[in-house]
Structure 1
Amino acid sequence: MKVTLFGYVLRTYLRFALGILAGLVVIFVVVDFVDRAKTYTGPGWVEAAAKLYGYKALVSVQQLGPAALLLAAGVAVSALRKQGEVTAIRALTFGPSALYLPILACSLTACVGLVAFDEWVATHAGRRVDEITTQRFNRGGDWRFYYTPKQWFRRGDRIFFLRSGSAQEGFRDVSIFTVSKQFELRQRLDAAEMHPLEGTRWRLVDVVERGFSGPGSTSVKQLAEAEYDLGVAPGVFRIRPGRPEQMRVPELREQIAARKEVGLATRQFELALHNRFAYPMAALPAALLGVGLALRASRRGHLTAAIVEGLLTAVAMWGLMVVCRTLVLTERLSPFVAAWMPTFLLVLVAGAVWLRREGLLHLPRGRVLVR
C-alpha cells in the first residue's frame, strides 16, 4: 500500500512538473519572439531564428526549472485535495509524509538533474544564443563586455598592458610598468613582441627600456632582443573571454584562480560557481514549501491559491537574487552568501510551515484591546 501510494503521488507530481515546465518554456519563447520579431531579418532568417529559439528554450529549462518544481508541488497537492484524495489518505492513517516524501524524492532528483543539465547543456546553449544573436542578427547587447579580450594585468609590482596576442602564440605591442609600493613608476618596457620561454622568463623583441631612478633622472636603452624574468608564467595570462554563467565548473575554477593572480575581478565568477549548485537546489525547499502551503487547513480555492502562492514565492526569490547579485558586484556581500541566501530562507520558511502544521510552532496572534 505504501509503495503504491508513493508511486501514485510521485507520478502525479512529475506529470504536473513536466506540464508546467513545458508551458512556462513555451510562454517564454513566444513572448520573447514577439518582443524581438522586428530584429529578425535577412536571407534565411527563419532557419536562424529557429536555431536561436531552440537554444533559448534549452537555457530557459534551466532558468524556469526551479519555478516549475515549486508550482507543481502546490498544484499537485491541491489537485489531490480537491478530488478528496488527501482525505482518503488520512482515512488510511497515512500522515503528511505520504505527500512530502514522494515530492521530496522527485524534486531532489530533479534538482540534481538541473545541475547536470546546466553544466553540460545550458552552458553550451547560452554560448550559441550569444553567437547567433551577435553574428547573424547583429545585436550584441552586453556581448562586448564579456568577450572583449582583457589587456591590463597586474602581478606583484608589475603592470602589463598586452594589446594583442595570446599566451600560446606570444603577445604583440606590449608595455610593462614596474611600480614601487607608493605606486611610483620605476621602469617601463615597451616591446613589439613578447614570447614565453621557460618558467617566468620571456623574450622581448624590439625593446625600449626606460628607467626612472628619481626626480628628473631617466635612462633610455634600446635593444633588438632581450630576455627578462618578469615573475609571471604564461599560464597566468590565459584569461578566457565569455560570460561566467556559460562556463563549466572546471573552467570557472581555473578562471577564478587565473584572475586573482593578475589582479582582475573574480566576484562575478565566484557567484556563477556557487549559483551552479545553489540556484537549482533552491527548488527542493521551494517544493516542500508548496506542499506545506497546500495542506493548510484554512485553504480556499485550492488550484488558484496554489498558483498564486507559487508565483509570489518565485517572484520574491527572483527579486532577492537580483538584489544579492547587485550587492556582490558592488562588493557589499560575499558571493557564497548571495548564492545560498535564497535557498537558506526557503528552508527556514518551509520548516516553519511544517512545524506550524504539526503544532510545534505557535505564532503569536494579535490581540484586540477593548475598553
Structure 2
Amino acid sequence: MKLLNRYLIRQLAVMTVYALLALLALYSFFDIISEIGDVGEGSYTGWKMMQYVLMQMPAHAYELMPLAVLIGGLIALSQLAAGSELTVMKTSGMSTQKLIAVLLQFGLIFAVATALLGEWLAPSLSQRAENLKAGALSGKISTGSQGLWLKEGNAIINVREMLPDHTLLGIKAWRHNEALQLVEAVAAESATIDADSNWHLQNVHSSRLSGLQQRDGQMDVDLVQTEFDKEKQWDIGLQRNLLDVLLVDPEQMSVSALTTYIRHLQDNNQQTRQYEIAWWRKLMYPVAAMIMALVALAFTPQSTRHGNMGLKLFFGICLGLAFHFAGRLFGFTSQLYGVPPVVAALLPTLLFGLLGVYLIRRQEKR
C-alpha cells in the first residue's frame, strides 16, 4: 500500500507542478505586457525588466499554489479515473478514507512549500524587484545589505526600512562640499516625510566638521561639533515616491514582519485590524493547499466520458478562483463590519473544506 500511496502522490505532485508552471507563465506574460512600456526609461533595459519579472515569480507562486493544487489534483485524478486506475485501487482495498489521507499528505507537501515561499523567498525577492526597478527608472537610488541608498544634491542617504505607514527607520546621511569633502554626518532613529518633502527626524545625532584643510595629502579637521536633537526638520527636497520602493503591502509581508509591525502599532495606540487580518491569512493560507486537494477529489468525475470530465474540471477551476476572491472579500468585510480577524481569515478555508467533505460524501452515496 505504501508503494501505491507514493505512486498517487507522485502523479498528483507532477500535475500540480505542471499546472503551477503554466499559471506562472501566464502571469509572467501579463507582467511583461505591463512592464514593456517602461523599458528605455533611465537605465531600465529589457534585461532588467526580465530580472524584475523573474523576481516577482515566487510571490505569484505563493498566491497561485492552492489553485495549482486544485488544477493538478483534478487533472491527475481525472486521468486515473479515465484509465480505471481509481476503480482498481478501490477494489483492491483502498477505501475513501485512505484515499483522503493520501490526498492530505499530498496537500501537506504543497502547504509546506507555500509557507516557505510566503515567509522567506517571496517577500525578499519582491522587495528586491521593486528596488531594482525604481533604481533603474530614477537613477538616484540603489540597494544593498543595509537597505536603500539615495543620492540627493550633496547628500548620500541610507534608509534601513520603511513601515507601512511611511515611517522611515534607521536613517543615516552624509553631506559633502563641492570638493567632495565630508562636512556633516547625521544619524536618526526614525523620520516621517510631509507633503512638501520635508523630513521630520526623531532622536537625531549630528556631527559637523569645520576647518577642513589639505595638508601633506591628508585631511585635517580643526573642530568636530556634535549635537543631539529630540526632533529636527530636514529640508532635503527628496520626493516621497522614491522611497515607496521600501513600502511592502501587508499581503506580501512575512508573518514575522507582520508580528513586529503589529506590536509597533499597538505600542503607539494605532489601528491594527488590517495587519491582523493579513497575519491570520498568512497562517491559514498554506492550509488552503490541503483543502484544495479534497476539493479536487470531490470534483473528480466518476464517468470516463470526456464531456463530463471537462465540465467537472471547469467547475473545479471556477471554485478555486472563487476561493481566491472569497479570501479578499472576507478581509474587506472584516474591516467594514468589525468581524474578528481570525474569523475573517478562517471562514473561507473552513467553508470550502466543509464543501469538499460534503461533496465527497454525496459522491460516495451515489
Q: Same fold (TM over 0.5)?
A: yes
Q: Residues 276 and 251 of structure 1: is their aligned pair in 2 closer, same or farther, counting only changes over 3 Å?
A: same
2:153 is equivalent to residue 119 of structure 1: no
Distance in 1 (CA, whole Å) between partners of 2:23 and 2:231 is 60
Distance in 2 (CA, whole Å) between partners of 1:83 and 1:206 is 73
Distance in 2 (CA, whole Å) between partners of 1:146 and 1:172 is 13
Distance in 1 (CA, whole Å) between partners of 2:71 and 2:282 is 21
Are the equivalent residues in 1 in contact too, given 2:265–2:272 (CA < 8 A)?
Answer: yes
Deviates further, 26-35 or 127-136: 127-136
Are the equivalent residues in 2 in contact too, given 1:59–1:122 (CA < 8 A)?
Answer: yes
Deviation at 1:243, TM superposition (A): 2.6
Q: What residue is the counterpart of 1:233 in the other structure?
A: none
Distance in 2 (CA, whole Å) between partners of 1:284 and 1:247 is 22
Distance in 1 (CA, whole Å) between partners of 2:53 and 2:323 is 26
Q: What does 1:92-131 correspond to in 2, within 5 Å?
A: 92-131=92-131
Q: What residue is the counterpart of 1:7 in the other structure?
A: 6
Are the equivalent residues in 2 in contact too, given 1:244–1:269 (CA < 8 A)?
Answer: yes
Distance in 1 (CA, whole Å) between partners of 2:127 and 2:349 is 27
Scaled by the length of structure 1, the TM-score of the pair is: 0.67
Distance in 2 (CA, whole Å) between partners of 1:35 and 1:170 is 37
Pick the aligned partner of 2:289 from 280, 283, 290: 283
CA RMSD of aligned residues (A): 3.3
2:343 is equivalent to residue 311 of structure 1: no
Q: What residue is the counterpart of 1:355 in the other structure?
A: 361
Deviation at 1:70, TM superposition (A): 1.0
Pick the aligned partner of 2:277 from 256, 259, 271: 271
Deviates further, 331-340 or 9-18: 331-340
Q: Secondary structure at the match of 1:41?
A: coil
Q: What does 1:212-291 correspond to in 2, within 5 Å?
A: 242-291=248-297
Deviation at 1:275, TM superposition (A): 1.5
Are the equivalent residues in 2 in contact too, given 1:58–1:121 (CA < 8 A)?
Answer: yes
Deviation at 1:302, TM superposition (A): 5.0
Are the equivalent residues in 1 in contact too, given 2:299–2:313 (CA < 8 A)?
Answer: no
Distance in 2 (CA, whole Å) between partners of 1:69 and 1:173 is 43
Q: What residue is the counterpart of 2:37 in the other structure?
A: 38
Q: Secondary structure at the match of 1:294?
A: coil
Q: What residue is the counterpart of 1:80 in the other structure?
A: 80
Q: Residues 64 and 298 of structure 1: is their aligned pair in 2 closer, same or farther, counting only changes over 3 Å?
A: same
Q: What residue is the counterpart of 1:293 in the other structure?
A: 299
Distance in 2 (CA, whole Å) between partners of 1:270 and 1:129 is 26
- Number of aligned residue pairs: 284
Structure 2 unaligned blocks of 5 or more = 139-161, 170-186, 194-199, 205-227, 233-245
Amino acid of the structure 2 residue aligned with 1:4: L
Distance in 2 (CA, whole Å) between partners of 1:83 and 1:4 is 19
Q: Secondary structure at the match of 1:11?
A: helix
Q: Which digits, 9 at most, give the CA deviation of each residue in 1:105-141, with x for residues without a partner?
A: 0111210221122101011122123323433346xxx
Q: Secondary structure at the match of 1:169?
A: strand
Q: Residues 76 and 259 of structure 1: is their aligned pair in 2 closer, same or farther, counting only changes over 3 Å?
A: same
Q: Residues 88 and 324 of structure 1: is their aligned pair in 2 closer, same or farther, counting only changes over 3 Å?
A: same
2:332 is equivalent to residue 326 of structure 1: yes
Distance in 2 (CA, whole Å) between partners of 1:324 and 1:258 is 25
Scaled by the length of structure 2, the TM-score of the pair is: 0.68
Q: Which digits, 9 at most, give the CA deviation of each residue in 1:144-182, with x for residues without a partner?
A: 99473279xxxxxxxxxxxxxxxx8357899xxxxxxxx
Q: What residue is the counterpart of 1:339 in the other structure?
A: 345
Pick the aligned partner of 1:149 from 158, 163, 167: 167
Amino acid of the structure 2 residue aligned with 1:34: I
Q: Residues 133 and 33 of structure 1: is their aligned pair in 2 closer, same or farther, counting only changes over 3 Å?
A: same
Amino acid of the structure 1 residue aligned with 2:116: A
Q: What residue is the counterpart of 2:23 in the other structure?
A: 24
Percentage of identical aligned residues: 19
Distance in 2 (CA, whole Å) between partners of 1:121 and 1:265 is 28
Distance in 2 (CA, whole Å) between partners of 1:206 and 1:258 is 20
Distance in 2 (CA, whole Å) between partners of 1:306 and 1:39 is 41
Distance in 1 (CA, whole Å) between partners of 2:297 and 2:23 is 20
Q: Residues 5 and 147 of structure 1: is their aligned pair in 2 closer, same or farther, counting only changes over 3 Å?
A: same
Are the equivalent residues in 1 in contact too, given 2:104–2:290 (CA < 8 A)?
Answer: yes
Q: Which digits, 9 at most, give the CA deviation of each residue in 1:237-262, with x for residues without a partner?
A: xxx95332333323221211110221
Distance in 1 (CA, whole Å) between partners of 2:81 and 2:250 is 43
Q: Residues 55 and 331 of structure 1: is their aligned pair in 2 closer, same or farther, counting only changes over 3 Å?
A: farther
Amino acid of the structure 2 residue aligned with 1:10: I
